[in-house]
């Protein structure tokens, strides 16, 4: 049962524009959310996280928004750069499950020059 869903398998965006990646979850017990970035043949790299007590967290060009009532979070990348071309995974942590992470299937972002 997929508790974290990324419904867009791919996203193409022009360099300099905003990239918006979406993620939905079903488990209301999740209280910590993370985004990871992955290049081919490498392990995922942690990007940014947000606690359920917040609705926004910003780190440079990356901002994550959390809408608890809708069980939805999004990652905004502004401005998008060619080096942002990668697979992005959304993940959620369940405190009742010893903080086990559940991952979405990923969204492949391609930034066009």
Partner 1 sequence: KAGVTQTPRYLIKTRGQQVTLSCSPISGHRSVSWYQQTPGQGLQFLFEYFSETQRNKGNFPGRFSGRQFSNSRSEMNVSTLELGDSALYLCASSPGTGPYEQYFGPGTRLTVT
Find, among 61, 62, 37, the residue nearest to 50 by Cα.
Answer: 62
Beta bridge partners of 85: none
Tokens for 69, please give them: 């009532």
Cβ atoms of 18 and 80 closer than 8 Å: yes
Please state the closest distance from residue 31 (CB atom) to partner 1, in A.
Answer: 7
Residue in 12, 18, 46, 96 binding partner 1, rule: CB under 8 A: 46
Residues 13-32 that bind partner 1 (CB under 8 A): 31-32
Binding site for partner 1 (CB under 8 A): 6, 9, 31-32, 34, 36, 41-46, 49, 51, 89, 93, 95, 97-106
């Amino acid at each position: 049962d997929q508790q974290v869903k990324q419904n867009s398998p791919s996203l193409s965006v022009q360099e300099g524009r905003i990239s918006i990646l979406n993620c939905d979850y079903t488990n209301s017990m999740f209280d910590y959310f993370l985004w990871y970035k992955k290049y081919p043949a490498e392990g995922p790299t942690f990007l940014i996280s947000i606690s359920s007590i917040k609705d926004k967290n910003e780190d440079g060009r990356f901002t994550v928004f959390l809408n608890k009532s809708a069980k939805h979070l999004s990652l905004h990348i502004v401005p998008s750069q060619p080096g942002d071309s990668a697979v992005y995974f959304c993940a959620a942590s369940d405190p009742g499950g010893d903080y086990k992470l559940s991952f979405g299937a990923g969204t492949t972002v391609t930034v066009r020059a």
